[in-house]
Structure 1
Amino acid sequence: MRPLTKILDPIKILGSKIPDVLFKGISTNSKNVNKGDLFIAIKGEKYDGHDYIKEAIDYGAVAIITNQYDIIKCSVPQIKVLNTRKALSIIASEYYGNPSKNLTVIGITGTNGKTTTASIIKSILEQANIKVAQFGTLGLIANEINHQATLTTPDALLLQKLFADLLKANFSHVVMEVSSHALDQSRVDNIDFDLAVFTNITPEHLDYHKSFKSYCLTKLKLFKMLKNNAISIINVSDPFGEKLLSILESSTIPFSNDKSNTIHFKSLNISINGISGVINTENFNYKIKSNLIGKFNSENILAAVGVSKALGLNQNSIETGIAKCAIIPGRMEVHHLKNQIKAIIDYAHTPDSYKKVMETLKKLQHNDGGDLYVVFGAGGDRDKEKRPKMAQIVEEYAKHIYITPDNPRFEKQSDINNQIISGFKADKFSIYKNREEGLETALKKAKRNDIVAILGKGRENYQDILGQKIPYSDLKVIRRFN
C-alpha cells in the first residue's frame, strides 16, 4: 500500500488538502480497477473517464483524481487537479520510482522515419554490447519482455511500468518513437530523455492538431523538455529542422544529405540491393553498407550515426550495426517472388512518404524495365484532406492502382474511396471491397521485373473495422506467391 500524500506531493491540488489514504495500484480504465486502486479520470476522444467514476468506485477505487468538482456524492475522496493527463504522467513516474532517470533514453520524433531510425540505433547499440529496448509502432522489442503495440507511444502509466520492468531486467538503454499525440497528451512529460532526434516534418494528423503550425509546435515540445546536458540530433535538410537548430539551447548534432558541414554522405549509392557509401562526421569517415533502400533511408542512417556519435560508440559498432539492420518489418520491405516479381510492403500513409516511396521505386523499376502496380487505401476517421493528394502521387508513377480498405474504423468505405478517387485524372484504377482480393489481383497481374507496392498497413496483422480488429496480413497474402 502507498500513501496518497507522498505520490501526489509534486502535483498542484485544487481545493482541499490531499487526503490521508493508502492505495495499491493505479488505473485509468474503470473496468480494470482492483480493490484499493487509485482511479484517474481521463477525458479521451471517444470516452470520458469522468463518466465512469461510479463504476470505478463500485470496483473498489479508494480515491479519484479528477478535473471536475464533486461529480458524484460518495465517501471516496475526489481530488481535483488542473489536468488529469499531466497528473497521470507525474503519478505514474513517482509510483514506479522514476525509472527513466536510471536509463539512457533516446526519443525520436518526426512525421516519417521514426521506426527505421530507432531500429538502426538499436542494432548499433547491440553491436556495442549494450542492452537496449525499442518502443514504437512495432511494439516493445526487448528480449525478455513482450508487449504488443496499439499506439506508437504507450500511455504514461504503461510506459512507466515498462521502463521499470526494463530496469529490473538490467536494460541500460531505451530507444523510443515519440508521436505528436503522445507529446500533446502528456504521455512522455516525466521521461528523462538523454537524446532527442528530429527526422522530418510534413502535414499529418491535421484532423487532430487542426493546423500544420500546431503540429510543428507539438513536435517542438520534445526538445523543450530536455534536460541541460541532453543532446539533440537534427535533420537540417528539413526547414523545421533548421529552425530547431537555431532556437535550441541544448547541444545539437546536425545531419543532412545536402550540407557538407554536417554529418553527411560523402559518397552515396542506392539500388534495389541497398545503400552504400561513405559518411563523413567532422573529418572522420564511416564506410556504410545497408540492405535498406531509398534516399530517405540514407537520412535515417545519418540520424543513427548522429546518435552513435553522441554516445561515443566506436566505428566497428556503427558500421556493423548498420549492416546488420537488414529488414525492418513493414518499412520498404522487399520480397522477391516467383517470376522475378518484387513485392514491397511499406507503412507509408502520408503524401510525403508516398512521394518518397514512389520516387524510389520508379528509379528501381526504370533500372529493371518493369511496371509499377500500387495497392493502397486510406485509414478511416483520420485526416481526409490527404486522401486525394496520395491518389495524385500514386497516379503519377503507377501503371495501375488497386484501391482497397485500410482500417476504415467507423467510417464508410465508400466515402473513403470517393475521396481517394477525387484525386485521380485517369481511369487506371480498380476498387475492391476486400483488401486481400485487391492485393491478389495485383500480384496475379504482375509479370517479370514488375514491382507491386503495398502501402499503408506495413506489418499490421488486422483490419480495424467498426471497432473490431479482424485478422488480416498483407505479408501472409504475398507469401502465397513465393
Structure 2
Amino acid sequence: VKLNSSQVEEGDLFIAIPGTKVDGHDFIGDAIDSGAIAIISNGRDVGKLSVPQIKVANPRRAASIVAAEYYGHPTKDLIVLGITGTNGKTTTASLLFSILNNAGHKTAQLGTLGTIADGFNQEATLTTQDSISLQKTFSELRDADFSHIVMEVSSHALDQYRVADVEFDVALFTNLTPEHLDYHASIEAYYQAKARLFRMLPLESTAIVNESDPNGLRMAEETNAPTLTFSRSNGNSIHFSDLNISISGIHGKIIAGHITYEIGSSLVGEFNAENILGAVSVAHALGIEKEMIEDGIKKCSAIPGRMESFPLANGAKAIMDYAHTPDAYEKVLGTLKEVSLNDACLYVVFGAGGDRDASKRPKMARIAEIFATHCFVTPDNPRTEDPDQISKEIIGGFSGSNFTVFKDRRAGLEDALNRSEKNDIVAILGKGREEYQDIKSKKEFYSDLEIIRRYQ
C-alpha cells in the first residue's frame, strides 16, 4: 500500500491523495508504470486506466482504513497513549516513556524525536507519520513484543485522518495557543482538529485534560469517555502541592485523590511542572505504582532540544529549545530570566520558519525583546520564502534597537556565543537538535548543537 508513486513496486495498491502542494492523482500513470495493480482515487477524471480504480469520497480516510486492515489492526494489541496540544507534547511523552519503562513495560515513543524503541532506528520525520507508515510501525512494534506506545498526535494528523483507525486507550490534552494558522483557517478550526482525538475515544478509554488551559474543560465535553482533569491550582483536580521551581529543578507533591506523589525533577520552569502533572495523571489513570511514577519522573533528567542545557568553557550556559510559537517563547524566556543571576545577560538567537503562519513573527520578536539583553535574528528553515523578508517581518515587532539581523544562522549563533561571559545564558530557539536548514525545498546540513559543542 503506497501513497508516493516513486515508491510503488510491482503488485502494490496506490492511493492518490490530493495534497496541499501536489495531487497524487497527477501521478497515477507513474504508479501504474511502476507496477501498481489497483488505484484508490477521489473519482477525479483521470482517463481510462489499465488497472481497477476504486473511487472514494475521501482518499485520506480510505488510506487509514486500508492500512489498519492490511497490517491487522495492530493497536488492538497495544496500549496506545495519545498526547495532543500546542506545546508540551514531546516533554510529556518523554516523561511517560520514562515512567512506563521504569515500571517494566516495553514502551515505544513516537513523535518529533522520531521512533524511540529498543531495536528500532530513531529517525525524526513528521510529528505524526502518515497513516500507512504509522500502522506499519505499530505492526512492527507489536511483533517485537512492545506493550505500550506513547505518541504525539498533531492537529495535521487528526485533520488528515492519519490516526483515524488508531485505537487509543488514553488521550491527553496539554494546551492550545495560536499555531499552524497557515494550515487551519482559524483558531477554532485548530481546536476542532484537536477535538477529533477526544471524539473518537471509545467508552473504555480515558480522556485527560489540562483544566488550567481555557480550552481544557471544553475539550472534556467533546468525549463520551471518562475524564480526569489536572490543574495548576484547582484542588479538585490532580494538582501540585508545596511546589518549588528553581534553577535546580521542580520539587513538590502531586495530589491525585488519596495518593500523594513525591516529585523531584531536574527539569525547570512552570510549564514543565505542567508537563509533569500531565504525565503523572496518565500514569495514575493506568494504575502504575506510586514508586515507579516518582522514580520515572526523576530519571527523565533531560529531553533532547527541550530546555537542553550546555555549560560553555567561558562559564556561560547555552540553552537549546524547540520553541517556535509566541506562547512557547514567553514560557521559555520567562523561565530563563527568572533563574538567571541579576547581573547576567540573556542573549536570544531565533528566527521563524517559512511557509508557516506569518502573523506570529513580530509577536515572537516582541516577547524576545522583553526578556533579552540582545536578540540575534537568523534564518530558520525559510523553505520557499525569502529569508530577508522573514527577518523584516520579525524585526517589525521590535520597539528598540537591541537586535542584530544575520543572513546566516551560524554567524548569528557564533556572535551570541562569543559575546557571552560567565553566568550569561544564550538561548537558541526554534530548531532544537535538527540537523538541517530547509532552503528552497532542499535540506542543507546545519546543526546548532555542532556549533555549541565547539564552545564547551
The answer to whether TM tops 0.5 is yes
What is residue 446 of structure 1 aligned with on the other side? 420
Aligned partner (choices 1, 19, 42) of residue 67 of structure 1:
42
Question: Is it true that 1:384 corresponds to 2:358 in the alignment?
Answer: yes
Question: Is it true that 1:222 corresponds to 2:197 in the alignment?
Answer: yes
What is residue 73 of structure 2 aligned with on the other side? 98
Aligned counterparts of 2:54 and 2:127: Cα–Cα separation in 1: 30
Aligned counterparts of 2:121 and 2:302: Cα–Cα separation in 1: 20
Matches within 5 A, 1:246-325: 246-325=221-300
Aligned counterparts of 1:313 and 1:369: Cα–Cα separation in 2: 45
Aligned counterparts of 1:196 and 1:369: Cα–Cα separation in 2: 44
Aligned counterparts of 2:359 and 2:30: Cα–Cα separation in 1: 39
Aligned counterparts of 1:184 and 1:199: Cα–Cα separation in 2: 18
What is residue 379 of structure 2 aligned with on the other side? 405
Aligned counterparts of 2:186 and 2:327: Cα–Cα separation in 1: 17
What is residue 175 of structure 1 aligned with on the other side? 150
**How far off is 1:74 after superposition?**
2.4
What is residue 316 of structure 2 aligned with on the other side? 341
Matched pairs, number: 456
Q: Which stretch of structure 1 is more off in the superposition, 264-273 or 151-160? A: 264-273
Q: Which amino acid letter does the alignment assign opposite residue 89 of structure 1?
A: S
Any idea what SS the aligned residue of 1:374 has?
A: strand
**How far off is 1:171 after superposition?**
0.1
Aligned counterparts of 2:372 and 2:432: Cα–Cα separation in 1: 19
Q: Which amino acid letter does the alignment assign opposite residue 234 of structure 2?
A: K
**How far off is 1:147 after superposition?**
4.3
8 Å contact from structure 1 (residues 108, 118) kept in 2: yes
Q: Which amino acid letter does the alignment assign opposite residue 177 of structure 2?
A: T
TM-score calculated relative to the size of structure 1? 0.93
8 Å contact from structure 1 (residues 198, 241) kept in 2: yes
What is residue 347 of structure 2 aligned with on the other side? 373
- CA deviations 1:93-127 (Å, max 9, x no partner) are 00000001100000000000000000000000011
**How far off is 1:368 after superposition?**
5.2
Matches within 5 A, 1:154-165: 154-165=129-140
Aligned counterparts of 2:165 and 2:186: Cα–Cα separation in 1: 26
Any idea what SS the aligned residue of 1:217 has?
A: helix
8 Å contact from structure 1 (residues 117, 304) kept in 2: yes
8 Å contact from structure 2 (residues 199, 222) kept in 1: no
Q: Which amino acid letter does the alignment assign opposite residue 392 of structure 2?
A: N
What is residue 208 of structure 1 aligned with on the other side? 183
Question: Is it true that 1:185 corresponds to 2:160 in the alignment?
Answer: yes
Aligned counterparts of 1:281 and 1:150: Cα–Cα separation in 2: 36
Gaps of 5+ in 2: none
**How far off is 1:32 after superposition?**
0.8
TM-score calculated relative to the size of structure 2? 0.99
Gaps of 5+ in 1: 1-25
Any idea what SS the aligned residue of 1:339 has?
A: coil
**How far off is 1:339 after superposition?**
2.6
Q: Which amino acid letter does the alignment assign opposite residue 84 of structure 2?
A: T
What is residue 465 of structure 1 aligned with on the other side? 439
What is residue 5 of structure 1 aligned with on the other side? none
Structure 1 stretches of 4+ with a deviation exceeding 4 A read none
What is residue 416 of structure 1 aligned with on the other side? 390
8 Å contact from structure 1 (residues 343, 478) kept in 2: yes
**How far off is 1:245 after superposition?**
2.6
Identical counterparts, % of pairs? 57
What is residue 22 of structure 1 aligned with on the other side? none
Q: Which amino acid letter does the alignment assign opposite residue 28 of structure 1?
A: L
Aligned counterparts of 2:449 and 2:233: Cα–Cα separation in 1: 35
Any idea what SS the aligned residue of 1:130 has?
A: coil
Question: Is it true that 1:327 corresponds to 2:282 in the alignment?
Answer: no
Aligned counterparts of 1:248 and 1:152: Cα–Cα separation in 2: 23
8 Å contact from structure 2 (residues 202, 224) kept in 1: no
